[in-house]
Amino acid sequence: MMPIAPPISQWQFPPPDTADENGLVGVGADLEPGTVLAAYRTGIFPMPFDNGPMVGWWSPDPRGVFPLDALRVSRSLRQSVGRYDITIDTSFDQVVTECANPERDGAWITSAIRSAYGELHRLGWAHSIETRDRATGELVGGLYGIHIRGLFAGESMFHHTRDASKVALVGLVNHLRSIGVILLDVQWLTPHLASLGAVEIPRSDYLSQLANALAIPVRPFIPEVSS
Protein backbone atom coordinates (compact mmCIF):
# COMPACT_ATOMS: atom_id res chain seq x y z
CA MET A 1 0.00 0.00 0.00
CA MET A 2 1.35 3.40 -0.93
CA PRO A 3 1.43 6.05 1.84
CA ILE A 4 -1.08 8.90 1.84
CA ALA A 5 0.39 12.37 1.28
CA PRO A 6 -0.62 14.78 4.07
CA PRO A 7 -1.24 18.53 3.62
CA ILE A 8 1.93 20.53 3.00
CA SER A 9 3.45 22.06 6.12
CA GLN A 10 3.09 25.77 6.80
CA TRP A 11 6.64 25.79 8.19
CA GLN A 12 9.95 26.10 6.36
CA PHE A 13 13.08 24.71 8.00
CA PRO A 14 16.47 26.45 8.01
CA PRO A 15 19.25 24.61 6.17
CA PRO A 16 20.72 21.76 8.24
CA ASP A 17 24.19 23.32 8.13
CA THR A 18 22.89 26.23 10.23
CA ALA A 19 22.64 23.88 13.23
CA ASP A 20 24.53 24.78 16.39
CA GLU A 21 27.35 22.67 17.86
CA ASN A 22 24.78 20.27 19.37
CA GLY A 23 22.98 19.79 16.07
CA LEU A 24 20.00 21.99 16.94
CA VAL A 25 18.50 23.68 13.89
CA GLY A 26 15.43 25.29 15.43
CA VAL A 27 12.72 25.15 18.10
CA GLY A 28 8.96 25.19 17.80
CA ALA A 29 6.79 24.55 14.71
CA ASP A 30 4.36 21.62 15.03
CA LEU A 31 4.26 17.85 14.68
CA GLU A 32 1.72 17.66 11.87
CA PRO A 33 2.50 14.84 9.40
CA GLY A 34 3.48 17.25 6.63
CA THR A 35 5.88 19.08 8.95
CA VAL A 36 7.59 15.92 10.23
CA LEU A 37 8.00 14.47 6.73
CA ALA A 38 9.36 17.76 5.40
CA ALA A 39 11.94 17.71 8.19
CA TYR A 40 13.17 14.21 7.33
CA ARG A 41 13.38 15.10 3.65
CA THR A 42 15.58 18.05 4.65
CA GLY A 43 17.88 15.98 6.88
CA ILE A 44 16.27 17.12 10.14
CA PHE A 45 14.30 15.23 12.81
CA PRO A 46 12.23 16.22 15.87
CA MET A 47 13.09 15.49 19.49
CA PRO A 48 11.64 17.20 22.59
CA PHE A 49 13.67 18.99 25.22
CA ASP A 50 13.75 17.09 28.54
CA ASN A 51 10.46 15.31 27.76
CA GLY A 52 8.70 18.68 27.78
CA PRO A 53 6.27 20.28 25.34
CA MET A 54 8.94 22.20 23.41
CA VAL A 55 10.15 20.39 20.29
CA GLY A 56 13.67 20.80 18.95
CA TRP A 57 14.61 20.06 15.34
CA TRP A 58 18.01 18.43 14.94
CA SER A 59 20.63 17.70 12.32
CA PRO A 60 23.76 16.47 14.14
CA ASP A 61 27.24 16.52 12.68
CA PRO A 62 28.48 13.83 12.52
CA ARG A 63 25.38 11.76 11.76
CA GLY A 64 24.84 8.14 12.76
CA VAL A 65 23.99 5.78 9.91
CA PHE A 66 23.83 2.02 9.54
CA PRO A 67 25.38 0.73 6.30
CA LEU A 68 23.04 -2.06 5.23
CA ASP A 69 25.92 -4.36 4.33
CA ALA A 70 27.73 -3.82 7.64
CA LEU A 71 25.40 -5.49 10.15
CA ARG A 72 27.44 -7.65 12.52
CA VAL A 73 25.52 -10.82 13.32
CA SER A 74 27.46 -12.78 15.91
CA ARG A 75 27.00 -16.50 16.43
CA SER A 76 24.91 -15.88 19.54
CA LEU A 77 22.74 -13.33 17.73
CA ARG A 78 22.24 -15.76 14.86
CA GLN A 79 21.03 -18.30 17.39
CA SER A 80 18.68 -15.71 18.89
CA VAL A 81 17.23 -14.96 15.46
CA GLY A 82 16.18 -18.60 15.31
CA ARG A 83 14.30 -18.34 18.61
CA TYR A 84 11.99 -15.48 17.64
CA ASP A 85 9.46 -14.55 14.97
CA ILE A 86 9.51 -11.17 13.21
CA THR A 87 6.34 -9.30 12.25
CA ILE A 88 5.83 -5.93 10.55
CA ASP A 89 3.26 -3.29 11.45
CA THR A 90 1.10 -5.59 13.57
CA SER A 91 1.59 -3.69 16.87
CA PHE A 92 2.87 -0.23 15.97
CA ASP A 93 1.23 1.64 18.86
CA GLN A 94 2.39 -0.97 21.37
CA VAL A 95 5.97 -0.77 20.09
CA VAL A 96 6.00 3.02 20.48
CA THR A 97 4.45 2.72 23.95
CA GLU A 98 7.18 0.30 25.00
CA CYS A 99 9.87 2.57 23.55
CA ALA A 100 8.33 5.50 25.46
CA ASN A 101 8.47 3.77 28.86
CA PRO A 102 9.54 6.60 31.22
CA GLU A 103 11.51 4.15 33.35
CA ARG A 104 13.98 3.54 30.52
CA ASP A 105 17.33 5.34 30.59
CA GLY A 106 17.25 8.30 28.22
CA ALA A 107 13.49 8.14 27.68
CA TRP A 108 12.46 10.99 25.39
CA ILE A 109 9.22 10.00 23.66
CA THR A 110 6.39 12.27 24.84
CA SER A 111 2.67 11.83 24.34
CA ALA A 112 2.86 14.40 21.53
CA ILE A 113 5.54 12.36 19.74
CA ARG A 114 3.51 9.17 20.22
CA SER A 115 0.44 10.84 18.75
CA ALA A 116 2.36 12.32 15.81
CA TYR A 117 4.02 9.07 14.80
CA GLY A 118 0.79 7.16 15.33
CA GLU A 119 -0.83 9.42 12.73
CA LEU A 120 2.13 8.95 10.39
CA HIS A 121 1.69 5.20 10.79
CA ARG A 122 -1.99 5.42 9.88
CA LEU A 123 -1.00 7.40 6.77
CA GLY A 124 1.55 4.72 5.84
CA TRP A 125 4.83 6.56 6.60
CA ALA A 126 5.80 5.17 10.00
CA HIS A 127 6.41 1.45 10.51
CA SER A 128 7.32 -1.02 13.21
CA ILE A 129 9.29 -4.25 13.28
CA GLU A 130 8.18 -6.55 16.08
CA THR A 131 10.07 -9.41 17.73
CA ARG A 132 7.77 -12.10 19.13
CA ASP A 133 8.31 -15.09 21.34
CA ARG A 134 7.99 -18.04 18.98
CA ALA A 135 6.09 -20.16 21.49
CA THR A 136 3.60 -17.61 22.80
CA GLY A 137 3.49 -14.85 20.16
CA GLU A 138 4.14 -12.29 22.89
CA LEU A 139 5.75 -9.01 21.86
CA VAL A 140 9.21 -9.02 23.47
CA GLY A 141 11.08 -6.42 21.43
CA GLY A 142 10.87 -4.11 18.46
CA LEU A 143 11.67 -0.81 16.81
CA TYR A 144 9.95 1.86 14.73
CA GLY A 145 10.84 4.58 12.26
CA ILE A 146 9.95 6.57 9.17
CA HIS A 147 10.16 5.27 5.61
CA ILE A 148 10.42 7.71 2.69
CA ARG A 149 11.46 6.19 -0.63
CA GLY A 150 15.07 4.96 -0.18
CA LEU A 151 15.35 6.26 3.41
CA PHE A 152 14.44 4.57 6.66
CA ALA A 153 14.96 6.77 9.73
CA GLY A 154 15.08 4.63 12.85
CA GLU A 155 13.60 6.30 15.92
CA SER A 156 13.74 3.95 18.90
CA MET A 157 13.89 0.30 19.92
CA PHE A 158 13.15 -1.76 23.03
CA HIS A 159 13.53 -5.29 24.38
CA HIS A 160 12.17 -7.37 27.24
CA THR A 161 14.16 -10.52 26.53
CA ARG A 162 17.73 -11.19 25.49
CA ASP A 163 18.67 -9.91 22.01
CA ALA A 164 15.04 -9.10 21.13
CA SER A 165 15.82 -5.57 19.89
CA LYS A 166 18.88 -6.83 18.00
CA VAL A 167 16.71 -9.44 16.29
CA ALA A 168 14.29 -6.66 15.27
CA LEU A 169 17.24 -4.78 13.77
CA VAL A 170 18.31 -7.87 11.81
CA GLY A 171 14.74 -8.19 10.55
CA LEU A 172 14.67 -4.52 9.60
CA VAL A 173 17.96 -4.61 7.69
CA ASN A 174 16.92 -7.72 5.77
CA HIS A 175 13.57 -6.14 4.92
CA LEU A 176 15.08 -2.80 3.84
CA ARG A 177 17.49 -4.56 1.51
CA SER A 178 14.65 -6.57 0.01
CA ILE A 179 12.58 -3.49 -0.89
CA GLY A 180 15.45 -1.34 -2.17
CA VAL A 181 16.10 1.08 0.70
CA ILE A 182 19.70 2.35 0.63
CA LEU A 183 19.98 4.61 3.70
CA LEU A 184 19.29 3.60 7.32
CA ASP A 185 19.56 6.70 9.49
CA VAL A 186 20.12 6.20 13.24
CA GLN A 187 20.64 9.91 14.00
CA TRP A 188 23.16 9.70 16.86
CA LEU A 189 25.67 6.88 17.18
CA THR A 190 25.53 4.94 20.45
CA PRO A 191 28.01 2.29 21.67
CA HIS A 192 25.25 -0.32 21.30
CA LEU A 193 24.62 0.57 17.65
CA ALA A 194 28.34 0.86 16.93
CA SER A 195 28.85 -2.68 18.22
CA LEU A 196 26.37 -3.86 15.59
CA GLY A 197 27.99 -1.98 12.69
CA ALA A 198 26.64 1.58 12.75
CA VAL A 199 29.08 4.40 11.96
CA GLU A 200 29.31 8.19 11.99
CA ILE A 201 29.63 10.24 8.82
CA PRO A 202 29.89 14.01 8.24
CA ARG A 203 26.59 15.83 7.88
CA SER A 204 27.52 16.80 4.31
CA ASP A 205 27.95 13.12 3.40
CA TYR A 206 24.65 12.27 5.04
CA LEU A 207 22.83 14.96 3.07
CA SER A 208 24.35 13.66 -0.16
CA GLN A 209 23.27 10.10 0.67
CA LEU A 210 19.83 11.39 1.66
CA ALA A 211 19.37 13.12 -1.71
CA ASN A 212 20.24 9.87 -3.47
CA ALA A 213 17.88 7.88 -1.26
CA LEU A 214 14.96 10.23 -1.84
CA ALA A 215 15.48 10.11 -5.60
CA ILE A 216 15.06 6.38 -6.04
CA PRO A 217 11.80 4.44 -6.28
CA VAL A 218 11.47 1.48 -3.93
CA ARG A 219 8.85 -1.12 -3.25
CA PRO A 220 6.20 -0.37 -0.58
CA PHE A 221 7.23 -1.12 2.98
CA ILE A 222 4.25 -3.43 3.34
CA PRO A 223 3.48 -5.14 0.01
CA GLU A 224 -0.15 -5.34 -0.98
CA VAL A 225 -1.64 -8.80 -0.65
CA SER A 226 -3.52 -9.85 -3.77
CA SER A 227 -6.88 -11.51 -3.19
Q: What CATH class is the domain 64-215?
A: alpha beta
pLDDT tens by residue, 74-95: 888 999 898 999 999 999 999 9
pLDDT tens by residue, 40-74: 999 999 999 776 778 999 999 999 999 999 999 98
Domain ranges of the chain: 17-61, 64-215
* Distances, alpha carbon 82 to alpha carbons 137, 170, 205, 220, in Å: 14, 11, 36, 26
Residue-by-residue DSSP string for the chain: -PPPPPPPPS--PPPGGG--TT-EEEE-----HHHHHHHHHHT-EEEESTTSSPEEEE--SSEEE--TT-----HHHHHHHTTEEEEESSSHHHHHHHHT-TTSTT----HHHHHHHHHHHHHTSEEEEEEEETTT--EEEEEEEEEETTEEEEEEEEESSTTHHHHHHHHHHHHHHHHT--EEEEES--HHHHHHT-EEE-HHHHHHHHHHHHHS----SSPPPP-
pLDDT score at 3? 95
Q: Which residues of the chain have pLDDT under 50?
A: 225-227
Phi/psi of residue 214, nearest 5 degrees: -75, -15
pLDDT score at 224? 58
Count the residues in the chain.
Answer: 227
Q: How far apart are CA 138 and CA 221, in angstroms?
A: 23
- Cross-strand pairs, 58: 24, 45
pLDDT score at 54? 86
pLDDT score at 102? 86
CATH number among 1.25.40.10, 1.10.287.470, 3.30.70.3550, 3.90.550.10, domain 17-61:
3.30.70.3550
